[in-house]
Structure 1
Amino acid sequence: MDIQFKSASEMKYAESLTQSNMSRYYLTRNIVWDSNLFINNWAKLDNFDIFADGLRVGVVRFSYNESTTFLRDLQLSPEFQGKGIGSKSLDIIVEHARQHKSTKLLLRVFSENPAVKLYKEKKFTQTVEVNGLIEMEFILSSSLPFSITRV
C-alpha cells in the first residue's frame, strides 16, 4: 500500500473528519467543539491530507519548535482505520520530524483511544497523563531510514 502526504487543500474536510472522529471523546468530557479555534489553528499548523493508493483517507497536522515536532492530529476516515494506514503514516510522521531536525516527536491522545496501542507498538512512551489525556513522546535518532517528498 502506497501512503503519501500531500499539502492539505480543504480545511472543511479536515475539520469535519476531526470533529466526527473526536466527538465521542469530547462528549465523554463535556468538551464543545470550537470551529473558530480549528479555523484559527489551520493557518498556524502544517496540514497534510493522507492518501492511500491515491485515495484521500485522512489528515495529519503538525507544529514545531526548535527541537520538537508536535503531532497535532492524525485522523483517518473510519472505513480506513485498522488497515495498517495509521502504522505506515506514523513511519512517515517520524521521518517528517527528522527532516525538521527535531530531537523528539510529541503527541497527545485520549486514554481510551485505541490508537494508544498503536503508538506504544511504534515505541512512543507515555510521559504524563492528566484527566484522561496522555502525552507521549518518541525520541528521534539521527539516522534517516525513510525518505518522503512534500507535494
Structure 2
Amino acid sequence: MKVTFVRGTDPSFAEHLTKTNMAGYYQTRGIVWERHQFLCSWDEFDNYEVYNGQIRVGVVRLSYSEHTTYLRDLQLVSDVQGKGIGTQCLDIVRHHALKRKSQRLVLRVFRENPAIKLYESKGFTTRSEVNRLVEMELSLASNN
C-alpha cells in the first residue's frame, strides 16, 4: 500500500492516538496530559493524517523555523506499527522539508522508544540528551 498525508482536520483523533501511544512514557515520567496545550499546538503546527491506502492509520505534526523542520509527532495506530509505514512517513517528511528548503530535520524521542532505531536507520544522529529525552537531527543541507 501507498502511504499518503492529508491535511489534518480531526484534532480529537490525533489527541487520542498521541495520548494512547505516549501513555506509558508519560506515566513513567510523571507527566500529566495537557489537553489545552495539545489543542493550542494543533492550531500552531502543520497537522497531517496518515493514510495507508484508504485507511487512516496515524498523524504527523510539523513546525518550522527559518532553516529547520521539526517533526513534533509521528504517531501510528498499533496495528500498523513495525510494518514499514513509519519509514514511508519519514521519507514523506524529509521530502516535505526539502521542498521548504530546510537544512535539517529535528525530532525528540524518549530514549527507550524503539522508534530510535528507525530514526537512526534513516540517518538521524543524536544532538543531545537530557533526562532520557533525545534530540535527533537529520542534515538536509547537502541535499538542497
TM-score bracket for the superposition, by shorter chain length: over 0.9
Unaligned runs of 5+ in 1: 145-151
Of Structure 1 and Structure 2, the greater helix share is in 2
Distance 2:142 2:47 in 1: 24
Partner of 1:39: 39
Moved over 2 A (4+): 141-144
1:113-140 deviation digits (Å, cap 9, x = unpaired): 0000000000100010100100000001
Q: Which amino acid aligns with 1:54?
A: Q
Identity %: 51
Q: Which stretch of structure 1 is more off in the superposition, 133-142 or 110-119?
A: 133-142
Deviation at 1:53, TM superposition (A): 1.3
Deviation at 1:142, TM superposition (A): 5.2
Q: Are 1:118 and 2:124 an aligned pair?
A: no
1:54-96 deviation digits (Å, cap 9, x = unpaired): 2100000000011000000000001110100001110111001
Partner of 1:149: none
Distance 1:82 1:112 in 2: 16
Distance 2:110 2:42 in 1: 21
Preserved CA contact (<8 Å) 1:98 1:142: no
Superposition TM-score, scaled by structure 1 size: 0.93
Partner of 2:100: 100
Preserved CA contact (<8 Å) 2:102 2:141: no
Partner of 2:30: 30
Distance 2:128 2:57 in 1: 30
Distance 1:89 1:2 in 2: 10
Distance 2:113 2:35 in 1: 22
Superposition TM-score, scaled by structure 2 size: 0.97
Deviation at 1:4, TM superposition (A): 0.3
Unaligned runs of 5+ in 2: none
Preserved CA contact (<8 Å) 1:25 1:110: yes
Preserved CA contact (<8 Å) 2:63 2:72: yes
Distance 1:122 1:54 in 2: 26
Q: How many residues align?
A: 144
Q: Which amino acid aligns with 1:18?
A: T
Alignment root-mean-square deviation, CA: 1.0
